[in-house]
C-alpha cells in the first residue's frame, strides 16, 4: 500500500473504545484486516490522515510496506510530518523483506535514533496482524503485569549495607558487623573520629578506615 | 552529521568483560572502525553502557523467540530499569554456524509478546544483522546521547584509592557504573558524599 498524495495530518487524539482498534478505511479488505477480525474488534474510519491504526488514545501505528520503501522518500516525509504534528506515541511497522532489506538500516536510524519513535520489522501482513494483536493485548493489560518494568520490591537495606562496609580496604565480615553495630549508618561511620574507630577496631585499621573514608 | 565535531572528546563506551568472548567482533569494530574509546570493566548486569544514563543489552533473536529464557531476560531488564533512565535492547540475528544452511525462524506469538511488552515498558529496540552492525548501532546511540549532553566525560581508568572508592560506590544498590564513576571524580571523599546526601 503506497502513500502517495497529501494526506491531512490528524494531530488530535482519537477516542478508541476499550479493546478496539480503529483502522484507516484504506485497509478494509486487506490481509491484515481479515486476520485481525475475530481476534480484536476492528472499526474502520475515514480521515485518519497519516495514521494506519489507532491502538489506543495514546498509541497509533504507521505502516510502511515493501513498496513504500522501494518507491523512495515519500514515507520519510510522512513520518516526519506525523512526528511534527502529533503528540501520539507512534509505532512504525515496516515490511523488511529480501527486497527491502537494503533500506532497513537507514529507516531504523531515522525512525528510532532521529525521530525517537518505535520501529518493528515484519516480513508480511500476516506477521503484522500477529504483532498488532499482541500490541493491543499488551496495551489493555495492567502495567504492573509488564515483566520489564521495575518491580517495587522492598529491598532490605541491611544486607547491602553490610556488603558496602566490606568494600572498605581491610574490613572483612567480622569488622563490618562490629562497625555497623557501633555506628549504624554510613553517614555516622564517615563522621567518626579515629579515636571512636579505635574503640571498635585496632589502631592501625582505625587509621586506615579513617583515611579511606575521609580523603 | 554523524561525524563527531572536532571539539568533542572521543566517544566512550563501557563494555562488560563477558562481552569480550561473546561479542569480540563488536568490541573490535567499535575500536577499529568507529574510533570509540572502549573501556572493559565488570558491569555486572549490563552488556554495554553508552552514556551516563543509557544501558544497552545485546540479545539474539533466538533468545527472544523461546519462552525458556523468560526469567533470565526479565530479571536482567528489571535490574537495569532500577539503575538506568534509558534502556535499549539490540536484537541481533543469530550467526549461521558452519555446516548449517541459513536458519529459518518461525516468528512466535511469544516473540511478538516480548516486543510488545518492551515497547510498553519504554525500552528502545534496535535490530541488527550481526556483530559489525551492532557496533555501528552502539556508536550511533552514544552519538545521540552525546548530542543530548549525556556522554560519559570523566576518565574511566582509576588507580589506587580512587579504584577502591569506585568499588565502594558500586556496592550501593541501584547505583549504575557511570554514576559511581562520576561520584569518584566529583567528590573528594566518601565522607563528602555521605554529608551531601539529602535526608542524612
* Alpha carbon separation from A168 to A149, A176, A193, B161, B162 (Å, rounded): 33, 9, 16, 10, 12
Interface test with A, best of B81, B102, B120, B132 (most A CBs within 10 A): B120
Of A160, A167, A213, the CB nearest to B167: A167
CA distance B164 to chain A (A): 7
> Which of A118, A142, A112 is closest to A132 using CA atoms?
A118
Identify the pLDDT of residue A153. 61
CB–CB contact A149 B121 (8 Å): yes
Task: Judge whether A45 and A23 are in contact, CB under 8 Å.
Answer: yes
Identify the pLDDT of residue B200. 46
CB–CB contact A104 B123 (8 Å): no
Identify the pLDDT of residue B44. 79
Q: How confident is the model at residue B149 (pLDDT cuts 50, 70, 90)?
A: very high
Identify the pLDDT of residue B69. 85
Identify the pLDDT of residue A1. 46
> Which of A138, A89, A96 is closest to B105 using CA atoms?
A96
Look up residue A25 and give its three cell numbers.
478505511
Identify the pLDDT of residue A145. 87
B103-124 mean pLDDT: 91
A143-190 residue pLDDT tens:
888 989 876 665 677 888 999 999 999 999 999 999 999 999 999 999
> Which of A80, A21, A76 is closest to A52 using CA atoms?
A21
Interface test with B, best of A93, A116, A134, A148 (most B CBs within 10 A): A148
CA distance B33 to chain A (A): 17
Look up residue A66 and give its three cell numbers.
515493501
Residue with the bigger pLDDT between B43 and A87: it is B43
A76-87 residue pLDDT tens:
999 999 999 888
Q: How confident is the model at residue A3 (pLDDT cuts 50, 70, 90)?
A: very low
CB–CB contact A187 B77 (8 Å): no
CA distance A135 to chain B (A): 5
Angle, to 10 degrees, between the axis of helix A125-140 and the axis of helix B109-120? 50
B85-111 mean pLDDT: 84
Contact residues, chain A, for B82 at CB < 8 Å: 150
The answer to whether A196 faces chain B, any CB pair under 8 Å, is no
Q: Mean pLDDT over all residues of chain A?
A: 89
CB–CB contact B116 A112 (8 Å): no
A126-139 mean pLDDT: 94
B164-173 residue pLDDT tens:
999 999 999 8
Write down the ipTM of this complex.
0.90
SS3 call for B86: strand
pLDDT at B6 exceeding the cut of 60: no
Contact residues, chain A, for B86 at CB < 8 Å: none
> Which of B50, B27, B79 is closest to B138 using CA atoms?
B50
CB–CB contact A139 B144 (8 Å): no
Amino acid at each position: 500500500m503506497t502513500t502517495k498524495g497529501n494526506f491531512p495530518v490528524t494531530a488530535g487524539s482519537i477516542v478508541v473504545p476499550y479493546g478496539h482498534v480503529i483502522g484507516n478505511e484504506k485497509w478494509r479488505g486487506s490481509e491484515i484486516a481479515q486476520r485481525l477480525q475475530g481476534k480484536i474488534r476492528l472499526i474502520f474510519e475515514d480521515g485518519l490522515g497519516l495514521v494506519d491504526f489507532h491502538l489506543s488514545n495514546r498509541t497509533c501505528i504507521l505502516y510502511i510496506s515493501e513498496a513504500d520503501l522501494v518507491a523512495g522518500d515519500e514515507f520519510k516525509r510522512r513520518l516526519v510530518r506525523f512526528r511534527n504534528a502529533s503528540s501520539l506515541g507512534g509505532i512504525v511497522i515496516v515490511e523488511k523483506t529480501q527486497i527491502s532489506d537494503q533500506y532497513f538500516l537507514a529507516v531504523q536510524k531515522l525512525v528510532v535514533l532521529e525521530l525517537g519513535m518505535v520501529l518493528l520489522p515484519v516480513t508480511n501482513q500476516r506477521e503484522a496482524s500477529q504483532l498488532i494483536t499482541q500490541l493491543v493485548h499488551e496495551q489493555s493489560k495492567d502495567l504492573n503485569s509488564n515483566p520489564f518494568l521495575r518491580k517495587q520490591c522492598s529491598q532490605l537495606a541491611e544486607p547491602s549495607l553490610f556488603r558496602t562496609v566490606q568494600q572498605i580496604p581491610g574490613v572483612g565480615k567480622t569488622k563490618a558487623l562490629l562497625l555497623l553495630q557501633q555506628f549504624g549508618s554510613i553517614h555516622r561511620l564517615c563522621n567518626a573520629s579515629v579515636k571512636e574507630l579505635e574503640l571498635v577496631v585496632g589502631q592501625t585499621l582505625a587509621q586506615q578506615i579513617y583515611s579511606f573514608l575521609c580523603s | 552529521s554523524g561525524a563527531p565535531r572536532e571539539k568533542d572528546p572521543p566517544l566512550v563506551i563501557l563494555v562488560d568483560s563477558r562481552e569480550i568472548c561473546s561479542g569480540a567482533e563488536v568490541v573490535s569494530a567499535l575500536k577499529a572502525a568507529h574510533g570509540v574509546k572502549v573501556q572493559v570493566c565488570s558491569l555486572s548486569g549490563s552488556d554495554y553502557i553508552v552514556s551516563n544514563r543509557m544501558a544497552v543489552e545485546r540479545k539474539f533473536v533466538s533468545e527472544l523467540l523461546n519462552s525458556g529464557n523468560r526469567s533470565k531476560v526479565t530479571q536482567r531488564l528489571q535490574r537495569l530499569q532500577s539503575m538506568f533512565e534509558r534502556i535499549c535492547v539490540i536484537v541481533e540475528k543469530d550467526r549461521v554456524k558452519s555446516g548449517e544452511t541459513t536458519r529459518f525462524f518461525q516468528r512466535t506469538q511469544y516473540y511478538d509478546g516480548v516486543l510488545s511488552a518492551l515497547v510498553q515498558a519504554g525500552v528502545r529496540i534496535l535490530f541488527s544483522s550481526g556483530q559489525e552492525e551492532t557496533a555501528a548501532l552502539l556508536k550511533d546511540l552514544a552519538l545521540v546521547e552525546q548530542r543530548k549532553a549525556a556522554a560519559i566525560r570523566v576518565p574511566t581508568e582509576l588507580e589506587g584509592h580512587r579504584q577502591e572508592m569506585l568499588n565502594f560506590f558500586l556496592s550501593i544498590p541501584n547505583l549504575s557504573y557511570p554514576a559511581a564513576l562520576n561520584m569518584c571524580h566529583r567528590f573528594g571523599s566518601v565522607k563528602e558524599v555521605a554529608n551531601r546526601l539529602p535526608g542524612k
